[in-house]
Amino acid sequence: MKHPVVPIAEAHIASFRETLDTVVRERLYLAMLEAPPLEEVRCFVLDSIRDGRPYFVALEGERVIGWCDISSLHRALFAHSGVLGMGVLDGYREQGVGEALMVAALDAARTTGLTRVELTVREHNVRAKRLYEKMGFVVEGVKRRGVRLDGNYEDLICMAKLLEGVD
């Protein structure tokens, strides 16, 4: 692949935070308006690495151009489930980067014993919804008016994938 997909490492944190902030500031895809401070991002990433959570980045040289992570739900009853988060920089979208990231993260989720991965996608993000469906995610419901930005509402589509090959 033109852009290697690798597990996130401490050396990627600053570049990842820049990429996250760039995608967030587009105000179209994610559930925040700016990236958290670098130290907060560092703690989240290092905790993910320590806990063995699926967390991958796509690179162009040393620059992070996309990411995909699956976070745990931190409750015993939900230990089989994770929540997928991802983003790809504009200019690298629709080139297979997102799909490669998801394949890596979902494969890692299987090896950690997860049997369910869920996500939410904003209704106008049809490109991402199409990718999620291609990867086997199905719509489970809608959070009507789940997002409010600048006085405008948008529904959130709830999707999930049950992982095969895991008891």
The DSSP result for the chain, as a single string, is: --S-EEE--GGGHHHHHHHHHHHHTT-SSSS-SSPPPHHHHHHHHHHHHHHT--EEEEEETTEEEEEEEEEE--SGGGTTEEEEEEEE-TTSTTTTHHHHHHHHHHHHHHHTT--EEEEEEETT-HHHHHHHHHTT-EEEEEEEEEEEETTEEEEEEEEEEEPTT--
DSSP label of 105: H
| Residue 118 predicted with pLDDT over 60 | yes
Across the range 99-126, mean pLDDT stands at 96
Q: Give me the percent of the chain exceeding a pLDDT of 90.
A: 91
Phi-psi bin for 87: left (phi > 0), alpha (psi -120 to 50), beta? beta
Report the range of poorest mean pLDDT among 23-27, 69-73, 85-89, 154-158: 69-73
Q: What is the CA radius of gyration of the chain?
A: 15
Whole-angstrom distance, CA of residue 82 vs CA of residue 160: 10
Q: What is the pLDDT of residue 165?
A: 64
Q: What is the pLDDT of residue 1?
A: 62
Domains in the chain (CATH in brackets) are 5-162 (3.40.630.30)
Beta bridge partners, 84, equal 70
| Residue 27 predicted with pLDDT over 60 | yes
In the structure, what pLDDT confidence band is assigned to residue 134 with cuts at 50, 70 and 90? very high
Q: Per residue in 34-68, pLDDT tens? A: 999 999 999 999 999 999 999 999 999 999 999 99
